[in-house]
């Protein structure tokens, strides 16, 4: 086989394996030198409305190839439009660990597999998880906690739904409506270490009472726009850090309005604009206390235009650029 074009700015992005951002592949166990570890969870068996999120990791990877020059440029320096920003460096060591092994008929076995993979990745590097329905955030969060013993892992959630259900009469305790509740139980985190952004629509009275009783901060879309993204992000991080040491950022694509992200499992009108979602992730990228991020509920079969997967990839690379490559003011 001819030599690979990897590392060449002029690489044909449509060629070869569509890893995340055209990153080299590596099993999680060999990540000693990596700064970023990416893995996918092709699972949507605990989604409640529309299937398709099992193809989210593949879809996001396919669109992410267009952004490979952000983290691994060639000889031509990159600059962006807008106010000039000092670049600390041009490259970051990122590896794609592939997809976690799942068992479609066994949620507990799959959860254990996810937890082990997430722990191995988080032990070595900043962790990016590509979902998958939102349930998979819970075992991923468990793995991140395992990788950081003795540290309290707070949660910032960008979502249309609260995902605080305890036990549903139909779906039970382990499905896409329960990952935040299960995560709080697992870690024993003070619920004030949970900050929810973008919630809208209807909410169960029990879950709303849980938020009130436990002083969970909820910022809706109107408040976000009135206060501004930077102020909300900075306040969210500061608030959560009063009750934790590090932060897990979980991002459900249904936080975005269906007009900007039609390919999601449970769409809710009145959401973020696409650029607002991207700006949120970029703003969170300025905070070093965040040690892991996910983007979940992306369902490519529901969006033949690829608009949703492109937005997910674009937003993640905005986070990566802020976190690893740009100097902070």
pLDDT, block means (10 residues), the chain with 329 residues = 47 68 77 91 93 97 88 65 70 92 95 97 97 97 98 98 95 93 95 98 92 97 98 98 98 98 96 98 98 98 98 97 83
248 three-state secondary structure: strand
Residue 324, Cα to own-chain centre: how many angstroms? 16
Q: Distance (Å, rounded) from C-alpha 178 to C-alpha 247?
A: 19
Torsion region of 270: left, alpha or beta (phi above 0 gives left; psi -120 to 50 gives alpha) = left
Q: What is the pLDDT of residue 32?
A: 78
CATH number belonging to the domain at 26-74+86-325, selected among 1.10.3720.10, 3.40.800.10, 1.20.1560.10, 1.10.10.410 = 3.40.800.10
Cis peptide before 132 (omega within 30 of 0): yes
Q: Has 254 been labeled as part of a binding site?
A: yes
Q: What is the pTM of this model?
A: 0.93
Interacting residues of 260 by C-beta distance below 8 A, sequence separation 6+: 271, 272, 273, 274, 277, 307, 311
At 106 the pLDDT is: 96
Is 159 labelled a binding residue? yes
Residue 83's pLDDT is what?
A: 65
Residue among 232, 238, 269, 264 at smallest CA distance from 251: 264
**Cα 106 from chain centroid?**
24
Cα-to-chain-centroid distance, residue 223:
22
Is 16 known as a binding-site position?
A: no
- Per the annotation, does 252 bind a ligand? yes
pLDDT given at position 183:
98
Residue 163 is labelled as binding a ligand: yes
- 151, with CB counted inside 10 A (0-12, 13-18, 19+), is middle
Q: Is 148 annotated as a binding residue?
A: no
Token pair 């995902």 is found at 163
How high is the pLDDT of residue 111? 98
Cβ pair 186, 142 in contact under 8 A: yes
Q: What is the pLDDT of residue 1?
A: 40
């Amino acid at each position: 086989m001819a030599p690979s074009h990897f590392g060449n700015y002029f690489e044909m992005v449509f060629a070869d394996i569509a890893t995340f951002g055209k990153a080299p592949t590596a099993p999680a166990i060999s990540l000693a030198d990596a700064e970023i570890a990416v893995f996918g969870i092709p699972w949507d068996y605990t989604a409640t409305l529309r299937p398709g999120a099992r193809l989210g990791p593949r879809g996001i990877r396919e669109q992410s190839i267009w952004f490979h020059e952000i983290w691994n440029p060639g000889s031509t320096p990159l600059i962006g439009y807008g106010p000039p920003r000092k670049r600390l460096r041009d490259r970051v060591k990122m590896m794609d660990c592939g997809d976690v092994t799942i068992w479609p008929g066994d949620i507990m076995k799959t959860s254990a597999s996810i937890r082990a993979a997430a722990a191995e990745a988080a032990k070595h590097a900043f962790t990016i998880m590509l979902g998958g329905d939102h349930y998979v955030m819970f075992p991923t969060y468990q793995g991140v906690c395992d990788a950081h013993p003795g540290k309290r892992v707070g949660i910032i959630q960008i979502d249309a739904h609260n995902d605080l259900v305890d036990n549903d009469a139909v779906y039970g305790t382990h499905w896409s409506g329960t990952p935040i509740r299960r995560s709080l139980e697992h870690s024993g985190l003070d619920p004030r270490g949970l900050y929810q952004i973008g919630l809208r629509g209807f909410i169960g009275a029990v879950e709303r009472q849980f938020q009130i009783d436990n002083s969970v901060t909820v910022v809706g879309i109107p408040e976000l726009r009135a206060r501004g993204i930077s102020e909300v992000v900075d306040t969210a991080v500061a608030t959560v850090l009063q009750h934790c040491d590090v932060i897990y950022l979980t991002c459900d694509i249904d936080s975005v309005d269906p007009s900007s992200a039609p390919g999601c499992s449970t769409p809710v009108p009145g959401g973020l604009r696409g650029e607002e979602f991207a700006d949120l992730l970029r703003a969170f990228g300025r905070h070093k206390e965040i040690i892991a991020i996910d983007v979940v509920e992306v369902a490519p079969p529901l969006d033949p235009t690829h608009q949703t997967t492109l937005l997910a990839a674009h937003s993640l690379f905005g986070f990566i650029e802020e976190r690893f490559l740009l100097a902070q003011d």
